Amino acid sequence: MKSVTSKIKLFRPVLTLRCSYSSTDQTLLLNEFTRLCYQRDLPKAMKAMDSLQSHGLWADSATYSELIKCCLSHRAVHEGNLICRHLYFNGHQPMMFLVNVLINMYVKFNLLYDVHQLFDQMPQRNVISWTTMISAYSKCKLHQKALELLVLMLRDGVRPNVYTYSSVLRACNGLSDVRMLHCGIIKEGLESDVYVRSALIDVFAKLGEPGDALSVFDEMVTGDAIVWNSIIGGFAQNSRSDVALELFKRMKRAGFIAEQATLTSVLRACTGLALLELGMQAHVHIVKYDQDLILNNALVDMYCKCGSLDDARRVFNQMKERDVITWSTMISGLAQNGYSQEALKLFECMKSSATKPNYITIVGVLFACSHAGLLEDGWYYFRSMKKLYGINPGREHYGCMIDLLGKAGKLDDAVKLLNEMECEPDAVTWRTLLGACRVQGNMVLAEYAAKKVIALDPEDAGTYTVLSNIYANSQKWNSVEKIRTRMRDRGIKKEPGCSWIEVNKQIHAFIIGDESHPQIVEVRKKLNQLIHRLIGIGYVPETNFVLQDLEGEQMEDSLRHHSEKLALAFGLMTLPSEKVIRIRKNLRICGDCHVFCKLASKLENRSIVIRDPIRYHHFQDGKCSCGDYW
DNA sequence: TTAGGGTTAG
């Protein structure tokens, strides 16, 4: 290995302003400075730089570049500023290369003002100067600025290269931007670059176009682990966990080793599908990265979303380092699983730690209040969030409060709060109010809220269903029929109820009206037997299924065979008696299934966990963790 | 001799 000093070149002084020093002395000063820079001795190099400046001397650009690298590795912002001042001392203009290095230093120090000052002052700029700027804006998520710079760069006659494209792709806000850049990339023959490819895959996936991402991926001849991570992560983020897990298998077959980023996406995929067994298997492979913060955060989330709170708590407690995401994940996880009081206690612990809560943390806290009907706590946290944490209430915070107030029977207060919102209420906000109207049976307000939702999100089948159920509850059959006609006319179809259960690391799906499961006959038989046994201990099947139809289970199908009941029967048939039965649903659980599961947990002496899109129900010994409040 | 891609919470 070459020693650092071997890099040191002897050179003549670049510029001499004062001639009181002999040429030999100047050379000695410069050589000493160069030696210290290459040895990365920052304090001594800074002193030597002072001497240079007092004698009007400048070293060569490569030496300063070394010194700046040293500042970067020590995050020495003050020293970086001194170097910059020295380089521009007395109107001296550093070489373009060196200005690029300086700009990059300020980017890494996150000092955008200085970045711009230097960039604006440059007499000439090359592709690297422009790309450094574009990358800086992309990283700060100032996407529009980054795209504007690309346009200015093109106007300046500078052609983008692979570095520019891989930076600017991250700044694309819409598909049209990506497609335009993609054309440029193909035209310039740059699509084979692995950085450009992974950036393209990533941006297509993040914009919800996994098909395009896969096309770019499949065209690849040679790739690396990061391209695999981009495509796996892309599918995991787009609720296509099944594809993500399939790609992960392909990645392993192709001989690539899964590292932190891969495993984090794999965990996210398991989280999306609530695949506890597979997630636990991934956990075993993660042990060697047990200090990795992001992976641990993903693990806590996976266990929470799979309803395995003991495991989530264990990982959380063993973590040596926790950040705001760790705390927020655990707080929301506890709240979603029905442990609201514990979630609020954890928030108090967080406050005594060094980590500051953020917007999402407070969403979790208010979520905990809303799911347990903790009205006073909710108001306290909502009213104090700005004063205590400097966080302005956003849609999600208002949404939790509207849900809390509405379900507590204070619909007037909920409407008042909705009207006071600083941001415009969206379809989700109005849907929250509609949900509260359903619980309270307030038809007039429900009609108003539904109208608002439909205006903002006309394709949402759930809204029509909730409204139709509210009418049915009041025996307004004409109105029910009108809704059905309206849906038919608009071609809106309700999403069929679907439940998934993992058995031997395989996912089994049960969909209303779908007979394709190979064991469906046995499953139905088992379910009917269970229904009869439950009737024996007091279960009264709801016959008026229209009244029970909550957000979309098909009215035409009998409640008897709602998808979660089929999945439960299958779980009882196939899983060992000590195993928890974990079911994931696409729609919210209905009242009849809720009673059914409570009784089944008692009769069969089993723990049953059902995860719906909003929250999880832990059934045990005839009770549910939600306290029948959902 | 400077510039580029992938991972976590609502």
Indicate which CATH number applies to the domain containing A80.
1.25.40.10
pLDDT digits (tens, 9 = 90+) for A325-379: 999 999 999 999 999 999 999 999 999 999 999 999 999 999 999 999 999 999 9
Q: Is residue A292 part of a domain?
A: no
Give the confidence band of A13 by pLDDT, cuts at 50, 70, 90.
very low
User: For residue A412, is pLDDT > 60?
Assistant: yes
Per-residue pLDDT, A203: 95
Query: Distance in angstroms, CA of A324 to C1' of B9?
Result: 8
Q: Is residue A596 part of a domain?
A: yes
Q: Considering all nucleic acid strands, name the nucleotide whose C1' atom is nearest to the C-alpha of residue A614.
A: B10
> What whole-number distance in Å separates Cα of residue A452 and Cα of residue A467?
12
Dihedral, A344, A347, A352, A358 alpha carbons, nearest 10: -150
Of A493 and A304, the structure prediction assigns the larger pLDDT to A304
Query: Distance in angstroms, CA of A159 to C1' of B3?
Result: 14
Q: Is residue A221 part of a domain?
A: no
Query: Distance in angstroms, CA of A589 to C1' of B9?
Result: 25
Query: Distance in angstroms, CA of A28 to C1' of B4?
Result: 39
Nucleic acid strand B: bases within 7 A of protein CB? 1-10
Q: Is residue A533 part of a domain?
A: yes
Residue appearing with tokens 């200015």: A152
Q: Is residue A606 part of a domain?
A: yes
Query: Distance in angstroms, CA of A361 to C1' of B10?
Result: 8
Give the confidence band of A555 by pLDDT, cuts at 50, 70, 90.
very low
Query: Distance in angstroms, CA of A2 to C1' of B6?
Result: 33
Give me the amino acid identity at A107.
V
> What whole-number distance in Å separates Cα of residue A322 and Cα of residue A293?
7
Q: Is residue A195 part of a domain?
A: no
Q: Considering all nucleic acid strands, name the nucleotide whose C1' atom is nearest to the C-alpha of residue A296.
A: B8
For A162-189, what is the mean pLDDT? 95
User: For residue A455, is pLDDT > 60?
Assistant: yes
> What whole-number distance in Å separates Cα of residue A231 and Cα of residue A200?
10
Percentage of residues in chain A having pLDDT higher than 70 = 94
Query: Distance in angstroms, CA of A329 to C1' of B10?
Result: 9
Residues in chain A: 630
> What whole-number distance in Å separates Cα of residue A330 and Cα of residue A342?
10
Q: Considering all nucleic acid strands, name the nucleotide whose C1' atom is nearest to the C-alpha of residue A293.
A: B8
Q: Of A122, A150, A184, which residue constitutes the final position of a domain?
A: A122
Give the relative orientation of helices A591-603 and A563-574 as an angle to the nearest 10 degrees.
20
Query: Distance in angstroms, CA of A525 to C1' of B7?
Result: 45
Number of structural domains (chain A) is 2
Q: Considering all nucleic acid strands, name the nucleotide whose C1' atom is nearest to the C-alpha of residue A367.
A: B10
Q: Considering all nucleic acid strands, name the nucleotide whose C1' atom is nearest to the C-alpha of residue A162.
A: B4
Q: Considering all nucleic acid strands, name the nucleotide whose C1' atom is nearest to the C-alpha of residue A305.
A: B9
Query: Distance in angstroms, CA of A286 to C1' of B7?
Result: 13
Q: Is residue A286 part of a domain?
A: no
Q: Which residues of A502-534 are buried (b: 16+ CB within 10 A; e: fewer)?
A: bbeeebbbbbbeeeebeeeeebbebbeebbeeb
Query: Distance in angstroms, CA of A228 to C1' of B2?
Result: 29
Query: Distance in angstroms, CA of A96 to C1' of B8?
Result: 39
Helices and strands, number each (H, E), in chain A: 32, 6
Which residue from A420, A419, A410, A477 is spatially nearest to A448, judged by alpha carbons? Answer: A419
Q: Considering all nucleic acid strands, name the nucleotide whose C1' atom is nearest to the C-alpha of residue A400.
A: B10
Per-residue pLDDT, A561: 81
Per-residue pLDDT, A188: 93
Lowest mean pLDDT among A116-130, A255-269, A324-338, A540-554: A540-554
For A480-503, what is the mean pLDDT? 88
Query: Distance in angstroms, CA of A163 to C1' of B2?
Result: 13
- Tokens representing residue A256 in the block: 């690539």
Query: Distance in angstroms, CA of A62 to C1' of B2?
Result: 10
Query: Distance in angstroms, CA of A366 to C1' of B10?
Result: 10
For A483-502, what is the mean pLDDT? 88
Query: Distance in angstroms, CA of A229 to C1' of B6?
Result: 5
For A306-327, what is the mean pLDDT? 96
Which residue's C-alpha is at the least distance from the C1' of B7? A261
Which residue's C-alpha is at the least distance from the C1' of B10? A360
Which residue from A308, A306, A309, A284 is spatially nearest to A295, judged by alpha carbons? Answer: A284
Lowest mean pLDDT among A101-105, A220-224, A262-266, A375-379: A220-224
Q: Considering all nucleic acid strands, name the nucleotide whose C1' atom is nearest to the C-alpha of residue A105.
A: B2
Largest CA distance in chain A: 108
Give the confidence band of A558 by pLDDT, cuts at 50, 70, 90.
low
Per-residue pLDDT, A51: 95
Per-residue pLDDT, A543: 56
For A91-112, what is the mean pLDDT? 96
Q: Of A78, A95, A122, which residue constitutes the final position of a domain?
A: A122
Query: Distance in angstroms, CA of A311 to C1' of B6?
Result: 27
Q: Considering all nucleic acid strands, name the nucleotide whose C1' atom is nearest to the C-alpha of residue A97.
A: B2
User: For residue A54, is pLDDT > 90?
Assistant: yes
Q: Is residue A226 part of a domain?
A: no
User: For residue A205, is pLDDT > 80?
Assistant: yes
Q: Considering all nucleic acid strands, name the nucleotide whose C1' atom is nearest to the C-alpha of residue A396.
A: B10
pLDDT digits (tens, 9 = 90+) for A270-288: 999 899 999 999 999 888 8
Q: Considering all nucleic acid strands, name the nucleotide whose C1' atom is nearest to the C-alpha of residue A203.
A: B5
Give the long-range contacts of residues A321-327, CB within 8 A, separation 24 or more: A321/A291, A321/A293, A322/A293, A322/A353, A322/A355, A323/A293, A323/A297, A323/A355, A324/A355, A324/A356, A324/A357, A324/A358, A324/A360, A324/A361, A325/A297, A326/A293, A326/A296, A326/A297, A326/A300, A327/A353, A327/A355, A327/A357, A327/A361
Q: Considering all nucleic acid strands, name the nucleotide whose C1' atom is nearest to the C-alpha of residue A68.
A: B2
Q: How far is CA A628 from CA A538, A550, A591, A625, in A?
A: 18, 15, 9, 8
> What whole-number distance in Å separates Cα of residue A568 and Cα of residue A570?
5
Domain ranges, residue A518: 499-624
Averaged pLDDT score across all residues of chain A = 90
Which residue's C-alpha is at the least distance from the C1' of B4? A163
For A397-416, what is the mean pLDDT? 96
Are A124 and A93 in contact by the 8 Å Cβ rule? The answer is no
User: For residue A617, is pLDDT > 90?
Assistant: yes
Q: Is A619 left (phi over 0), alpha (psi -120 to 50) or beta?
A: beta
In DSSP terms, A498 is beta-bridged to A511
pLDDT digits (tens, 9 = 90+) for A574-591: 999 999 999 999 988 888
Q: Of A90, A122, A154, which residue constitutes the final position of a domain?
A: A122
